[in-house]
Structure 1
C-alpha cells in the first residue's frame, strides 16, 4: 500500500504542534490529527524551562512567548499560606532566579518563561500555519487504532460518523496521558497511576490586588479542611486552584458551583471579584512508558511520561523528546541513517524521563516537611492550634522551623541542571578519546562543556547570533578551530557516505558567553566539535588526528547507526 504521508502525528498539544513545525522545517510530509474540537481551553502547564525556550528560539517563537510571559517581578515569590491574603507561613524569594538575569545569560541566549498552555498552543499553531502555508491540523479526528507492517502504519481515524484510513511511514503519539497510540501499540506504563487526586477550579480575575502583598505565581494553601495550590497563570486573566481531594469521600462530580465558590473564597481570604470558568478533576501520577518505540510507533510528551507537577517538568520533557526524535526520523526517512538510529531515541530520552519523574516525586515528598512543621500531618485540630499560635506572633519559634523548611524547597523551583538539556550517558554519540576540559564549576548541578552527549555550550558567534542559532534540524554542524578550517572542509569533501548535510563553522577562541570563552572549553589544545541537529555533541576530535576524513566519516556513521557508506536497501525506512 502506498504511503499517503511520511508521518502521522496524533495530538495537537505542545508536543504534537512542535513535531509538526519541525517536520515542516525538515520538508517532511505529515498529517496531524486531534480528537478535541480545538486547542486546549484551560491553562494547564505553564512553566517553560530555559532549554525549552532554546528550542522555541530555533523555531522562531521565543520572542512571542516572552511577550506573553508573566513579568519577572510577579514571578518573584513561592508562598505557603493559610490563604492568599491571610497568614503567611513562609515564602521563597526567587529574586535574580527568574527572567533576564545573569543566572541565565551566562549559560543561554534565552531564559525561562511563565506562559500558560492555552496561550502557548495558539503561538505554536500560528507558527505552524505560517511555516506550512495553510492550517494542517485536523480537529475532531480521533485515532481508533492502527496496524503496522514492514513499510508503514495504517491508522483508522474517526471523524464524526465517518471513519477513514490514513497511511504513513511512522506514527507519533503526542496524544497525552490517555494516549490511543500507546494503547494501540500495546505499550504498558510503569509506576503508580495515582499519587493524589485534585479538583481543578479555574477562574478569571484581576489578581493584581492579591499579588501586591506577595508577588508570585504559585501559592500553597493549607488550612483546616483545605489543602492545595493556587496558580497565577495570568495576573489579569486565568488562575486555578487545585484542591486536594479524596474521591472516595468527595467525588469531583459532587462539587457544584456554590461549593466551588466557597472554596475559592476561602483560598483568596478576602472579598474579590472573579468568575468560575470551568471545574475539572486531575490525577497526579508518576508513570513512564515501558518503551518509547514499538516498531514504527513512537511516543512523545505525556503519552510517554506522566509527572507530578512539582518541578514543572512535564511539558518541558516533551519538548526535549520532540527535539531528539525529529532529526532522527528525518535522517531515517531520507535514507541518511539506518533505522537502528531510532533505537537511540528511547535509549536517550527514557532515562531523562525517569530522572525527571524521580525529581518531581522528590519535590513533592520534600514539601511534606512543611506539612509536618504546621502539624497538618497530625490532623486538622493540631493544624488549627498551630495556626492560632502563629497568628499575631511573628517571633513565634515555629516560624524559624517553617522558614527553614521553605528554604529547603529551592531546588524544586530553581535548579539549573533541570533548566537545561539533560546530559546523555548513552546513545548516538562517540565517547571522547581525550580529556574534556570543564572550565566552569557546576552551577546548580549544571556544568557546560564539549563533552559528547552534552548540549553544545552557549557562546556568541557574533553580536546577537549564538552558537545555538547556527544549528539546523536537517544538518550536522562541525565547529572547528579557525586555523584548521580549510583542512576540515577538504576532509568533509572527501567523505563518500551519504549523510545529512554538514555545516562547518570556524571558531575563534575569544568567542564567549558571559561565563566562559571557546578557548576555555578547548583548553590547551583546540579541537573540532561535531554537533548533532538537536544540539547534542556527537563527537570531538581526538588528539593527534592524522586522517580527518576517515575520522569524521567514522563518527557520522557511528551516530547514524550504521557503518560508513550507503545505507543497505533493506534498512532504508
Structure 2
C-alpha cells in the first residue's frame, strides 16, 4: 500500500490530522489497533479554537447536534457531598444558552470523546484521499531519503504487510510506539496522581440529592478535592474520577467503587458501572517532535492533567500546524524550515498548557487541610467558607481560560517575520496570563476574528493557503501575488474597505498563514520587486527569518 502521509492512531488528534490533510487534497492512510469504539471518553470539552477549526471543516452543525443535552446546566460545584454541604458554585450557562464571545465566531462545546470522535471520523472518511485501517497494529518503520516504510499487522488474521509513505506521523498517544522508536525522551514533573475513572449509569442521579444540577461536582475533604463526578451526556451517564495521589497505584473492586460513589452522593444507591479505567496523570513534554520524515503529534508530544480541558485541544492544534506544512512539503513549495518550525512553535505551547493544568490540579488538591469541614459548628462553617472561597477564586482561571485557547503565539518561529522591536518581558507576561486574551496581529499570533460586512468572519478567509489582507488600495500586493505564483506558494489577496476591521488588524497589510497565524505585518510592502520574493522565501521556509 502507498500514500503520501501515514498516520498512526485514530484518536481525535489522528482523525483531525487525517481529515485536515484530506481537506487539503492529500492522500493518507490511518492505522489504528482499535475498532473506533470509545468506552472511556477521556475528554468532553471541545475548546473554542478547536471549534474554529470545526467551522473551517464545515462540521460545527455535527458537534452542536451531538447527543449531549444542550440545556443541561454547566455549573462547577464544590461540596463535601451531594447530600452534605455545598461550599461554592461557579454558575455557567448551558450549551444552548451560551453565546460566542466577541473574540470568536464560535464558542466552546460540550461534546465528549465518545460523541466527538465519530464526528471527526465521519469528516475524515468523507475526504477522498483518506483511508482508515482499523484493527491493524503498527509495528515499526524504516526511513530512507525518499520516504518511510511501515510494517503493519492486520489483527483478524495476523497478516503482516508494508505501507510506503512520504511522511509518517505518530498520533498514537502517551505511550507512543513511534516516539519510542525515534528515541525521543520526555521531561517534566512526571507522575502527578494515579487516578481511577468510573463510567456509570444512573438516570435519577440528580433526584437523589438536594443540590441544583451541575456539570462537574468536586468533592472536598481534608486532602482537598478527592473525587469529581461529571455529567457525560447531561442525562443518565456520569464519570466519577477518584483523584488519588502520586505515591500509590490502587486498584478497586466494583464494591469499593460503588462505596466511593455513595460517599460522594452522601447516601446509598446502586450505580450501574459501565467501565473502569486506571490511568496515570502526568506532566511531561517530549524533548523533540520528530525529524526528517517522521513526526509525533498530540499526546505523543505532551501529557497533561485534564484540569483545564487543554490536552486534546492542544493536540488538534498540533495537527493543524503540522498538516499545512506536510501539504506544502508534498506540493514542493515548502522548505525544510517548515518542519523545523513545527517543534519550535508547538513545544512551548505544550510546556505552557502542562504548567497551567498542573497549577489547576494543585489548587484543587491544596484547597483544604481541615478535618472539620463537615462539622455542624461555627468552626466548620468558617472552614467551609474559607475552602469555598479558595476553590472559587483559584479555579476561575480554569473556568475562564480564553487566553489559553486563543492566545498561543509563535515567538521564535523561523517562518514568521518579526520586523518590530518588542518588550520580551511583556511577551512573557501576556503568555503566562491564561485568562485575558487581547486580539492583535503581532507576528506569530492567531489572526483575530472580526465580522465582515458580508456576514463572514475574517477567520473564514483563512485555511487553504497564505492570505494577504490589505486595508489600503495600491498595486504593491499584486507584485507579491505574482512572486507567490512564480514560487508556487498559494496566496490569496483580499483588499478590505472596513475601518473597524482595519483598526483591529493594526497595520495596512497582514500576511496570514494557512493555519490562521500571522506570518508578517507592515504598513508598506517592499518597493523592490524582488523583495516580495525574499518575503515569500522566508515564510515558505527556504531562508532564515529576517
Please report the TM-score for the alignment, with normalisation by the length of structure 1. 0.86
Match in the other structure for 2:6: 8
- 1:431 matched to 2:411? The reply is no
Cα displacement (A) at 1:466: 0.7
Contact 1:45 1:117 in 2 (8 A): yes
Cα displacement (A) at 1:130: 2.2
Cα displacement (A) at 1:259: 2.2
Helix, strand or coil for the counterpart of 2:263? helix
- 1:409 matched to 2:389? The reply is no
Find 1:419's aligned residue among 405, 418, 432. 405
Contact 1:156 1:163 in 2 (8 A): yes
Deviations 1:288-312 (A, max 9, x none): 1110013211111101100011111
Unmatched segments (≥5 aa) in structure 1: 376-382, 511-516, 565-573
Cα displacement (A) at 1:30: 1.0
Write the distance in 2 (CA, Å) between the matches of 1:113 and 1:429: 31
Cα displacement (A) at 1:448: 0.8
Deviations 1:499-542 (A, max 9, x none): 331111121233xxxxxx2132255xx51111000000101134
Match in the other structure for 2:518: 537
Contact 2:229 2:240 in 1 (8 A): yes
Contact 1:54 1:110 in 2 (8 A): yes
- 1:560 matched to 2:545? The reply is no
Find 2:462's aligned residue among 455, 471, 480. 471
Contact 1:200 1:243 in 2 (8 A): yes
- 1:454 matched to 2:453? The reply is no
Find 1:386's aligned residue among 364, 367, 373. 373
- 1:143 matched to 2:138? The reply is yes
Task: Name the stretch that deviates more: 529-538 or 410-419.
Answer: 410-419
Find 1:500's aligned residue among 472, 486, 489. 489
Contact 1:80 1:221 in 2 (8 A): yes
Helix, strand or coil for the counterpart of 2:473? helix
Sort the Cα spacing of 1:81 and 1:506 in 2 relative to 1 into closer, same or farther, 3 A: same
Match in the other structure for 1:190: 187
Write the distance in 2 (CA, Å) between the matches of 1:333 and 1:287: 31
Write the distance in 1 (CA, Å) between the matches of 2:190 and 2:308: 18
**Aligned CA-pair RMSD:** 2.9
Number of residues of Structure 1 aligned to a counterpart in Structure 2: 531
Sort the Cα spacing of 1:497 and 1:100 in 2 relative to 1 into closer, same or farther, 3 A: farther
Cα displacement (A) at 1:237: 3.8
Contact 1:69 1:114 in 2 (8 A): no
Sort the Cα spacing of 1:168 and 1:544 in 2 relative to 1 into closer, same or farther, 3 A: closer
Helix, strand or coil for the counterpart of 1:361? helix
Contact 2:404 2:434 in 1 (8 A): no
Match in the other structure for 1:546: 527
Sort the Cα spacing of 1:388 and 1:29 in 2 relative to 1 into closer, same or farther, 3 A: same
Match in the other structure for 1:397: 382
Helix, strand or coil for the counterpart of 1:354? helix
Helix, strand or coil for the counterpart of 1:360? helix
Match in the other structure for 1:480: 470
Write the distance in 2 (CA, Å) between the matches of 1:500 and 1:285: 41
Find 1:520's aligned residue among 503, 506, 512. 503
Contact 1:310 1:364 in 2 (8 A): yes
Contact 1:13 1:40 in 2 (8 A): no
Helix, strand or coil for the counterpart of 1:311? coil
Please report the TM-score for the alignment, with normalisation by the length of structure 2. 0.90
Match in the other structure for 1:513: none
Helix, strand or coil for the counterpart of 2:162? strand
